[in-house]
Structure 1
């Protein structure tokens, strides 16, 4: 992507809710070559508004047309040839990065937001043309309100895309206006800290123009667009990352305090009304993310079978065994009762059963038997590499041969993450149990809310030192947010990647004893390599370096 920005937009697809007649944002617009074209059709104004949502990513197809989990220690790809191995074997470089295209994608989203802000500046006048604003007062005023919301949303879109850019590349160029092809302008990258400040400024300045919560408004059909809640969630996540060791090597406590305040704002702002869903397992399945008060923002798609086709076991017709969850992860699910040597998967944190298919469990209409001669024999071609299959998100028993489909909505922000963000920031700023003036929960209380939703039988967290409580929070994020595209980035921001991502991935073999009982043996199934410090940031692609005319400086180590 050159640092020369065009106002020309290509055809884009449908991604989220926008009207009473549609469940998904209509972002399909024609290509425009002149600014004057936009004023010929009132609906075009809102088409351009929807266009800046196009760059939101559908997490079910992040890496190898599957979840990003295989880049971390959460899972191992089943396929022998895969892009995840570029991460797993330390192969990232300027010419080899599976996510290099996201750099342009996110800047396309920023450019779309910039374009809309420029050409909607006189939107009120435009919306009044060729209509009687008295007899059409209701629809006219609704259009004005919708335009006001969209303009605020464009600023939040910019903030979101910059948050995704700096998470990957660190400092990047800040582009705040639509540049013409003839401008031939090249923009140097800003520091990470300056981009964080810009993101916070965008949110703080324009949050007042946003709908508070589409679900509880008279415009619930617009749900899927940015709201006050999603704007504050972006800020909370960005400030948590900015306070973390990767970006805060001197452990400036004021950064943790700012992150805690940002998370608190999501929890306490009037009208947001977020709560934890009653059932962790069912929350992720079907249309529940669209109706649950736990969801802050979800990327919507029409019904499909993308994650099921990718991740059903190979023994299920149509399945491809895509991700094999690691035993590294399985071993971290706590016991809630006496361990059973004959069945290591019983009496465990219920989130294990909700997230991972284990031997002996029921899935796809059968009891999984991975022992020799079983339907899911691990010796069969393309079976799980680790002895486990993905369950989280997936609708059970879809008939893939008949192209059965289900709702698969990707949750970008949810309330449990906010509580964990809050717990982490509060612990680092004040310790596990201090509740400063103006706050209503301690770090421990916020953590307990998340754990109690999973099971009130989970062991109590009794540690009192900040360091020990930090480890408890890291554990809880690993379990609660498993497979949701947090783990890799958490390991980076904590600077734990150089240790964790250099450990082998483990799995289990399954056999049957003479009595018919299952027996399990842990094995190493893959090595991992993380090159520190280079891999803490992505390299800019060589194409971007060349096209920047010398203004884009490569990240260290590449």
Structure 2
């Protein structure tokens, strides 16, 4: 089912890649690639490997928390890690975009090479050739989407460059942002009808539904830029507002096509246990999960990742742990099941105490399934985050953070493990595998697939597009399907606010929120001049309640100026191609 991942070993040892616009291959003769399927699959797999579906770069793969950190969902354990550096850094032409950058013209060239040359194969049957071309065209469209959402308009290169090409082709100017989104749309529109109806995306291979899902997402982004953004640099950045409805309609149509295909549905294997159901959604890989449209496939050790190794709470026999502290500001977005409001921050003082099972345990089941908080049950034990314990001993009130306390023959830790309580005292739980043997929580030991597209997102895309197309009834129906699956009270009206809220909590920690705040043009409001918060928990053993107070979770105030809606083109790229005009504000 997942045989293609074995080609990565061949790919990484046989081929190399370069992100320059005009690059000559330095690997095995390309003329021989398309006469051997193993080499072709290896060549294709290298493009897949260059995609930033789940970012596993940086030391220990800590960049898988990059988008969550800059989107103020969960930060990294230490400021030396790249995710924290990304939101603390100063962006400029000299500094470039850092780890957030993605200038993937090496992969564009490889895609173009496949599209142009596999048709000359003497060894392959036409059906195989056609599939590889469709696959390459999708990957090229996705690469351009990943670049346009970062920079706005970028050079649009759709053929393999040669050394004797005219200078204007070797050193192309940036296309308009609208031109890139239109290219993505027309490319996808053309290939959708050429795919079979086979569902292969859940196994990591592009299909027609994957193309529709990208169309749904990318056109929603384009619509947002047109509606909320500003045009500058002769439309190299920004899209004319007159095109807003057109892009929303394109997104809506793609979402509806996926809905009407009848192939997908919301995962609901455990409808009576909403927490378990939402947690299991991300642990059910392959065709057995009706929600998965397209997945990046992983297998432990062979092509595993470090999520469990990094994210497990301290105290569960993992060498590295507690790496993704969740910000309390983001936790506050999750509503309570009974509709009550969050506890006002003014009440989080030493004078008040709280039942933790009510304070957090009665929140949206998606929160409970996604975040570790005090006394979360995990692997038959509890997760601890308290800094000390107060209790009565021989008539005296004692407060301690040392050792264990005897409680009717059982023990209670006087404080939680140091790494767990260091930052926010809340930790990422979403996608962690409670059934992975503790002895298996090692580097590259995780095999959970990363869901690039899932049906839940498509319903949210549809809701947003329908709302701005003045079809609030369909928008309401779409978000209520999501809320019903989650076990949350249904909405009676669709509003911009509750559609956006639903998207943030449903897709939490799935690399969406930062890009959503950018396209909605609300990132300045949400993340400029803000210092995010964590919590301090102090436990009272006599009352089984916690004193909960706030603390700073970040070392400095965040800065997010308006210019950051587009990333800077680095000095190195401009030196290589002087035709690349810089984005505003840099």
TM-score band w.r.t. shorter chain: 0.7 to 0.9
Q: How many Å separate the matches in 2 of 1:446 and 1:402?
A: 39
Shift of 1:97: 3.0
State which of 118, 121, 131 in structure 1 corresponds to 2:119: 121
State which of 199, 213, 225 in structure 1 corresponds to 2:205: 225
Q: How many Å separate the matches in 1 of 2:151 and 2:158?
A: 19
Give the structure 2 partner of residue 484 of structure 1: 510
| RMSD over equivalenced CA pairs, Å | 2.8
Q: How many Å separate the matches in 2 of 1:522 and 1:152?
A: 52
**Alpha carbons of structure 1 residues 390 and 41: separation in structure 2 relative to 1, 3 Å:** closer
**Alpha carbons of structure 1 residues 75 and 376: separation in structure 2 relative to 1, 3 Å:** farther
C-alpha contact (below 8 Å) 2:36/2:123 kept by paired residues = no
1:176 aligns with 2:158: yes
Secondary structure at the counterpart of residue 156 of structure 1 = helix
**TM-score (normalizing by structure 1):** 0.82
State which of 338, 342, 351 in structure 1 corresponds to 2:355: 342
Give the structure 2 partner of residue 65 of structure 1: 63
> For residues 43-86 of structure 1, what are the alpha-carbon distances to aligned partners after superposition, in whole Å with 9 as ceiling and x for unaligned?
44444344432322252526733322111121122213232334
1:557 aligns with 2:548: no
Give the structure 2 partner of residue 461 of structure 1: 491
Shift of 1:154: 1.2
Q: How many Å separate the matches in 1 of 2:339 and 2:498?
A: 21
C-alpha contact (below 8 Å) 2:306/2:446 kept by paired residues = no
**TM-score (normalizing by structure 2):** 0.79
Shift of 1:266: 2.0
Give the structure 2 partner of residue 200 of structure 1: 185
> For residues 474-497 of structure 1, what are the alpha-carbon distances to aligned partners after superposition, in whole Å with 9 as ceiling and x for unaligned?
100110000000000000000110
1:85 aligns with 2:95: no
Give the structure 2 partner of residue 327 of structure 1: 328
Give the structure 1 partner of residue 235 of structure 2: none
State which of 194, 201, 213 in structure 2 corresponds to 1:209: 194
State which of 460, 470, 485 in structure 2 corresponds to 1:420: 460
> For residues 416-455 of structure 1, what are the alpha-carbon distances to aligned partners after superposition, in whole Å with 9 as ceiling and x for unaligned?
000000000000111412xxxxxxxx11111111111111
Q: Report matched runs for 1:295-314 at 5 Å.
A: 295-303=292-300, 304=304, 306-314=306-314
Q: How many Å separate the matches in 1 of 2:532 and 2:469?
A: 34
Give the structure 2 partner of residue 315 of structure 1: 315
Secondary structure at the counterpart of residue 121 of structure 1 = helix
Q: How many Å separate the matches in 2 of 1:338 and 1:182?
A: 66
C-alpha contact (below 8 Å) 1:27/1:54 kept by paired residues = no
Give 5+ residue unaligned stretches, structure 1.
Answer: 1-15, 129-142, 434-441
C-alpha contact (below 8 Å) 2:297/2:450 kept by paired residues = yes
Q: How many Å separate the matches in 2 of 1:175 and 1:326?
A: 40
**Alpha carbons of structure 1 residues 122 and 425: separation in structure 2 relative to 1, 3 Å:** same
Give the structure 2 partner of residue 110 of structure 1: 108
Q: How many Å separate the matches in 2 of 1:284 and 1:359?
A: 23
Give the structure 2 partner of residue 9 of structure 1: none
Secondary structure at the counterpart of residue 298 of structure 1 = strand
Give the structure 2 partner of residue 138 of structure 1: none
1:508 aligns with 2:501: no
Give the structure 1 partner of residue 418 of structure 2: 380
Q: How many Å separate the matches in 2 of 1:376 and 1:249?
A: 60
**Alpha carbons of structure 1 residues 295 and 402: separation in structure 2 relative to 1, 3 Å:** closer
**Alpha carbons of structure 1 residues 58 and 430: separation in structure 2 relative to 1, 3 Å:** closer
> For residues 200-259 of structure 1, what are the alpha-carbon distances to aligned partners after superposition, in whole Å with 9 as ceiling and x for unaligned?
1111112222233335xxxx9x93111100101111111100111235573733332222
Q: How many Å separate the matches in 2 of 1:401 and 1:485?
A: 29
Give the structure 2 partner of residue 437 of structure 1: none
Shift of 1:385: 0.9
Q: How many Å separate the matches in 2 of 1:40 and 1:255?
A: 41
Shift of 1:96: 4.8
State which of 117, 132, 135 in structure 2 corresponds to 1:150: 132
Q: How many Å separate the matches in 2 of 1:407 and 1:97?
A: 30
1:53 aligns with 2:68: no
C-alpha contact (below 8 Å) 2:77/2:323 kept by paired residues = yes
**Alpha carbons of structure 1 residues 290 and 542: separation in structure 2 relative to 1, 3 Å:** farther
C-alpha contact (below 8 Å) 1:345/1:358 kept by paired residues = yes
**Alpha carbons of structure 1 residues 148 and 376: separation in structure 2 relative to 1, 3 Å:** farther
**Alpha carbons of structure 1 residues 355 and 403: separation in structure 2 relative to 1, 3 Å:** closer
State which of 346, 370, 375 in structure 2 corresponds to 1:360: 375
Q: Say which is worse superposed, 518-527 or 161-170, in terms of deviation.
A: 518-527
Q: Report matched runs for 1:392-411 at 5 Å.
A: 392-396=430-434, 398-399=436-437, 403=441, 405-411=445-451
Secondary structure at the counterpart of residue 134 of structure 2 = helix
Give the structure 2 partner of residue 140 of structure 1: none
